[in-house]
Amino acid sequence: MKQQSNLISANRSKMNRRQFIASTAAAAASATILKPAQVRGSSANSRVTVGCIGLGGRGSQIARMLGEHGGFQVTSVADYFPKVAKAAGEKFGVAPNRCFSGLLAYKRLIDSKVDAVFCETPPYCFPDHVAAAVNAGCHVYLAKPVACDVPGCLTVSQMGRKATKTRKVFLVDFQTRTDPFFIEAIKRARDGDIGRLGMLTSVYTDNGFKDPPLTENIESRFRHLIWVNDLALGGGMLVNAGIHALDVALWIAGEKPASAMGASRVAKPDAHGDTKYLYSLTYQFESGLILNHRGEHLRNVKGFSCKCYAYGTQGHLETDYSGKTWIRSNKKGYRGGQVENLYDDGIRRNLKTFHNSIVNGVYDNPTVEPSVNSTLTTILGREAAAANTMLTWAEMIKQNKKIEVDLTGLKL
């Protein structure tokens, strides 16, 4: 299946960039010597063998970065489209008999025996792909959102726990949580530098993606991020895009919301998918904290913006995916700095963490639960807005609403 290109990268291609490469003792440990007991299918003095599922824009970029890292070797590739799988195999030096295509390509890739599986397809696939990989004893590197519906999220959560229990690494690839300015600013805010936290505001805007007329089957929706427009395939705009800003808000809050309410609408001319493109949401937390979120995905030259603001009794924190992250406070401010090239550098830092965790046997997998909660938070907002009513987290989990995908006519 054609790889998920990055939603943020697609809407900020003209940004100024710089590279920030973290230098830590842990990063220095990313040598290619592996302990045989830690990596299935590998002997000592070898690289981590990788199978990449989904070789579109983002999947192809990550495969290239795996080669740049030096501690990985891509030995299998899978994509729904045979031409994409074949081209990726040729590009990354994968044997033709290890280039798989079709809906079940992921099973054939896992059966080909790899140490780690990278999942970069439309997110409706993730629960099945992750379950197959973890059950086969593979390490997992997963894009976000982790699923399109509640049952899918619960499956990924279960597989995360199983990975830890069976001593496998499972990392979900959020870039913001790797950035030094984000890390320091949010740590200070949570330590009380802005006083008691009262309200959060998150904002995500972009130009959306092409949404051509529907065809005989959903194969035509697998390319060029068209699937973001479809709830069943990608979860919709809030789940795929808004999650980047909402994840930061939950990171600051340190808790998940108890309820959500709000409104949403399409507004986009000639829309063919079933997502909404405008969101205005209010989340409430058990602590009394309020979070409001605004999402807008129209081709109106507004462009890309992904920000979060935290308002405390003594100061406020501002975070920006492509701008300044800092604190102003009556107590103790933080000058922070300009966040640039977060998408690329965040991937590099996550690849280092993933490799180091495999090599050193670190199986705590701290990214899974926050990523599941962030995905569930977007689903909570999506469903509350669609029903135009307040929906509690407990009600959402109890309903356990599954979105069925019509795979009629697709190649196995």
Same domain, 118 and 209: no
Residues 44-50 have a mean pLDDT of 76
Mean model confidence pLDDT for the chain: 90
Confidence band of 9 (pLDDT split at 50, 70, 90) = very low
Using the predicted structure, report yes or no on whether residue 109 has a pLDDT greater than 50.
Answer: yes
Same domain, 98 and 110: yes
Q: What is the pLDDT of residues 216-274, one digit of tens each?
A: 999 999 999 999 999 999 999 999 999 999 999 999 999 999 999 999 999 999 999 99
What does pTM read for this prediction? 0.89
Say if 78 falls within a structural domain. Answer: yes
Same domain, 118 and 171: yes
pLDDT value for 322: 94
pLDDT value for 209: 92
Which has the closest alpha carbon to 289: 262, 269, 319, 260? Answer: 260
**For a pLDDT cut of 70, what percent of the chain falls above it?**
89
Using the predicted structure, report yes or no on whether residue 152 has a pLDDT greater than 90.
Answer: yes
Same domain, 29 and 138: yes
- The pair of structure tokens assigned to 182 is 């984000």
- Poorest-pLDDT segment among 34-43, 98-107, 271-280: 34-43
Domain enclosing residue 137, as ranges: 7-175+346-368
pLDDT value for 389: 95
Say if 406 falls within a structural domain. Answer: no
Same domain, 202 and 329: yes
Say if 38 falls within a structural domain. Answer: yes
Same domain, 170 and 307: no
Same domain, 395 and 358: no
Say if 253 falls within a structural domain. Answer: yes
Where is 63: in which H helix or E strand? helix 57-69
Residues 314-327 have a mean pLDDT of 97
| Bridge partner list, 283 | 260, 291
- Residues 221, 212: Cα–Cα separation, whole Å: 9
pLDDT value for 114: 97
Structurally, how many domains does the chain consist of?
2
Which has the closest alpha carbon to 126: 98, 148, 110, 158? Answer: 148
- Residues 169, 189: Cα–Cα separation, whole Å: 30
Same domain, 121 and 263: no
Q: What is the domain-level CATH number for residue 329? A: 3.30.360.10
Say if 407 falls within a structural domain. Answer: no
- What angle in degrees, to the nearest 10, is found between the helix axes of 57-69 and 82-92? 20
Q: Encode burial over 140-159: b for 16+ CB neighbours within 10 A, e otherwise.
A: bbbbbbbbbbbebbbbbbeb
Say if 384 falls within a structural domain. Answer: yes
Count CB neighbours of 111 within 10 A.
13
pLDDT value for 8: 45
pLDDT value for 113: 95
Say if 31 falls within a structural domain. Answer: yes
Using the predicted structure, report yes or no on whether residue 303 has a pLDDT greater than 50.
Answer: yes
Using the predicted structure, report yes or no on whether residue 370 has a pLDDT greater than 60.
Answer: yes
Same domain, 109 and 204: no
- The pair of structure tokens assigned to 299 is 């081709």
Q: What is the domain-level CATH number for residue 93? A: 3.40.50.720
Residues 67-84 have a mean pLDDT of 96
Instruction: Choose between 39 and 151: higher pLDDT.
Output: 151
Same domain, 53 and 133: yes
pLDDT value for 165: 98
Say if 409 falls within a structural domain. Answer: no
Same domain, 224 and 331: yes
Residues 363-370 have a mean pLDDT of 98
- Poorest-pLDDT segment among 31-45, 84-98, 140-154, 225-239: 31-45
- Whether the CB-CB separation of 11 and 206 falls below 8 Å is answered with yes
CA dihedral defined by 5, 89, 353, 16, rounded to 10 degrees? Answer: -40
**For a pLDDT cut of 90, what percent of the chain falls above it?**
88
pLDDT value for 45: 43
Confidence band of 406 (pLDDT split at 50, 70, 90) = very high
Residues 276-305 have a mean pLDDT of 97
- Poorest-pLDDT segment among 24-28, 104-108, 338-342: 24-28
Q: Is 152 helix (H, G, I), strand (E, B) or coil?
A: helix
Residues 137-153 have a mean pLDDT of 98
Same domain, 359 and 315: no
pLDDT value for 43: 39
